[in-house]
Amino acid sequence: MAAPDELFCWEGDWGLPSVSTDCLVVLVRVRSASLRRKKSSKTSHALLLPMVSPGSLPALRTNQNETLSRPSDIIIHLRKQKFNADFDLSAKEGADSLAFISLLEEKLMPALIYTFWVEPKNFVEVTRRWYAEHMMFPLNFFLPGRMQSRQLEKLRLLRGDEHLEAGEELEKELYRDAAECMNLLSQRLGSHKFFFGDSPSSLDAYVFGHLAPILKCKLPNGKLQQHLKSLDNLSDFCSNILLLYFPRDGREPSAQKAPAAPEAGDFDNVPNKRRKQFLSALFALGAMLSYALLTGMVSIQHGHQEALEEPPDPEHIGAHEEEGDG
Amino acid sequence: MFVLSVGKIPFIHVGNQVVSELGPIVQFTKAKGHSLSDSLDDVQRAEMKAYMELVYNMLLTSELFVQWCDDATAGEISRPRYSSPYSWPLGNILAYQKQWEVRRKMNAIGWGGKTLEQVYEDVNQCCQALSQRLGTQPYFFNKQATELDALVFGHLFTILTTRLTSTELAERVKSYSNLLSFCRRIEQTYFEDKKLMKD
């Protein structure tokens, strides 16, 4: 086979390999299938690539230099490359998979979108801050906001209500649907390790991708997390998958993988901070200078350096006297 | 007689209450003591809910896609039908608005880039899943009809009997013989005084 395909995902945090649901789904599929085939797969955590817009991660760049962006397209492509986790499933189990995936997307995903992107406290304190910290300057100023409006529009279209806004009523409804969905998943999982048999299938990947962020991320408004933690078999299911396929991330919550792309996690924060400090110092200096020039405290006359020293003295004294009076 | 609803059909009118959409209607009838799925155990109820979502997710979305995102169908059938109760130009405006709304929704859920072939394939997959689940049983669960049977019947019947520019969608459904006989059986059992389906 030619050069491996490259998968670009959002980074991870809070003990997860990635913070985005779609990325997690694809990662689990790739990991479980490649472990089975004992083949290595190349995954890069990219903060920002010029050709891949950040709203559309995960993205797979194939060896034909084509970029696929929808999780379902990526999974179909992987399946063609024989990265298939589902050939052990019977036809009925395949049908059940499809049904439960639909259940997840209809009942749980809206609540996920709400809790991470629409609920005001959660968005401001956690989501926006995280994405802003993990993006390059100057995109971190407006991109999280743009992602939020896209997610809000998606939620509005999903619910069929153009004027949906964050609020208690909506929250109650969405969380109730999500709780019901989690209960149903818990009932279906029972005491098994995975949903079908002894190895994960695509349904396991989807369930993990949706539940893991809820389980691991500490949000100010954490009602979903409370409910999920009360369902032991689902929490164990998530921890199990983490341990099996992402042992490094599971053990150290703040560890970052060092990817091929040079824009790796923590390292960027330091130069960015320094750059910001330098820029703000420069700006402050420039502001003071221009104020001084404008008010005439400092005047520049070409070729006469003494002029810079003498006239300011009486003017300065004059200024001080005025300040003393005023 | 004009009945003002919240804009969503189907709805039922009981006393002075109006309840619309399938989910709330089911809950309402359950609260009144009539439920079709009481005899199911927890795992079966989970499966039933999941399959209902599958139908909403795939069949309903595919129907909308074929009606509104395929230019031929939209122009020849959906728009004229949608604008027929209104006079020109209001009908045209509303029809285009509806089409635009549906297309936006498709984009939001990731179906915007799909071709008609891909959508037919999705319908095929969905029907295959339903056919697998049904097997040789008379209904999806036990020997009794549940909400899932009602939902599946409604959608499949619509697909089989709605006239579109191409019969491919109906053909795909018909290729699953157990689904076809399921529809006929339900029609005969519950709608025997009215012949709904032409052979």
pLDDT digits (tens, 9 = 90+) for A178-201: 998 999 899 888 888 888 878 788
> Looking at this protein, which amino acid is placed at residue A205?
A
A contacts of B49 (beta carbons < 8 Å): 103, 180, 184
| pLDDT at position A324 | 47
Please give the structure tokens belonging to residue A199. 């190895």
On average, the pLDDT of chain A sits at 75
| Contact between B56 and A91 using a beta-carbon 8 Å cutoff | no
- B interface toward A at CB cutoff 8 Å? 42-43, 45-47, 49-51, 53-54, 56-58, 104-105, 108-110, 113, 125-126, 128-130, 132-133
**Mean pLDDT across A1-22:** 73
| Contact between A72 and B43 using a beta-carbon 8 Å cutoff | no
Sequence-separated (6 or more) residues with CB below 8 Å from residue B9: B20
- Whole domain around residue A56: which residue ranges? 6-246
pLDDT in tens, A256-291: 333 333 333 344 445 567 788 888 889 999 999 999
CATH 3.30.70.360 fits B40-190, yes or no: no
| pLDDT at position B17 | 65
B186: number of Cβ within 10 Å: 21
Contact between residue A139 and residue A48 where contact means Cβ atoms under 8 Å apart: yes
Q: Using the predicted structure, report yes or no on whether residue A55 has a pLDDT greater than 80.
A: no
Q: Using the predicted structure, report yes or no on whether residue A66 has a pLDDT greater than 60.
A: yes
Whether A306 maps to a domain, the answer reads no
- B166-173 CB contacts, 8 Å cutoff, 24+ apart: B168/B120, B169/B62, B169/B66, B169/B120, B169/B123, B172/B120, B172/B123, B172/B124, B172/B127, B173/B123, B173/B127
**At CA B110, angle to CA A163 and CA A117, rounded to 5?**
45
Least confident of A50-59, A165-174, A305-314: A305-314
Residue of A91, A102, A187 lying closest to B58 (CB–CB): A102
| pLDDT at position A288 | 92
A159 touches chain B (CB under 8 A): no
A contacts of B133 (beta carbons < 8 Å): 92, 95-96, 99
ipTM above 0.90, yes or no: no
- Of B140, B143, B183, the closest CA to residue B160 belongs to B183
Query: Which residue is associated with the tokens 């004294």?
Result: A317
Top-confidence residue, A71 or A202: A202
Task: Output the CA–CA distances (angstroms, integers) from residue A68 to A10, A34, A86, A205, A251, in the order listed.
Answer: 15, 19, 21, 19, 31
Whether A252 maps to a domain, the answer reads no
Domain ranges of chain B: 1-35, 40-190
**Cα-to-chain-centroid distance, residue A259:** 17
B contacts of A106 (beta carbons < 8 Å): 53, 56-57
| pLDDT at position B15 | 67
| pLDDT at position A179 | 92
Q: A102 vs chain B: nearest CA distance in angstroms?
A: 5
Task: Please state the length of chain B.
Answer: 199
What residue spans of B32-164 are helical by DSSP H?
A: 42-54, 61-68, 71-73, 79-83, 90-108, 116-134, 147-161
Whether A312 maps to a domain, the answer reads no
Number of structural domains chain A divides into: 1
B contacts of A154 (beta carbons < 8 Å): 108-109
- Of B76, B84, B69, the closest CA to residue B122 belongs to B69
CATH code for position A172: 1.20.1050.10
Measured between alpha carbons, how far is A150 from A56 in angstroms, rounded to an integer?
A: 11
Whether A146 maps to a domain, the answer reads yes
Q: Using the predicted structure, report yes or no on whether residue A46 has a pLDDT greater than 70.
A: no
Whether the ω angle into residue A253 lies within 30 degrees of 0, i.e. cis, is no
* Helix A21-37 × helix A71-80 angle, to 10°: 10
| pLDDT at position A88 | 67
Q: Using the predicted structure, report yes or no on whether residue A2 has a pLDDT greater than 70.
A: no
Top-confidence residue, A107 or A75: A107
Top-confidence residue, B151 or A85: B151
- Of B139, B120, B177, B146, the closest CA to residue B37 belongs to B146
Q: Which of A68, A187, A202, A207 is the mutation pick for testing B, counting most B CBs within 10 A? A: A187
% of chain A exceeding 90 in pLDDT: 7
Q: Label residue A247 by pLDDT band (50, 70, 90).
A: confident
Measured between alpha carbons, how far is A175 from A181 in angstroms, rounded to an integer?
A: 10
Task: Note down pLDDT in tens along chain B; length 199 residues.
Answer: 344 434 455 666 666 666 666 666 666 666 665 566 667 777 788 888 888 888 888 888 888 888 888 888 888 888 888 888 888 888 888 888 888 888 888 887 778 778 888 888 888 888 888 888 888 888 888 777 788 888 888 888 888 887 777 778 888 888 888 888 888 888 888 776 555 554 4
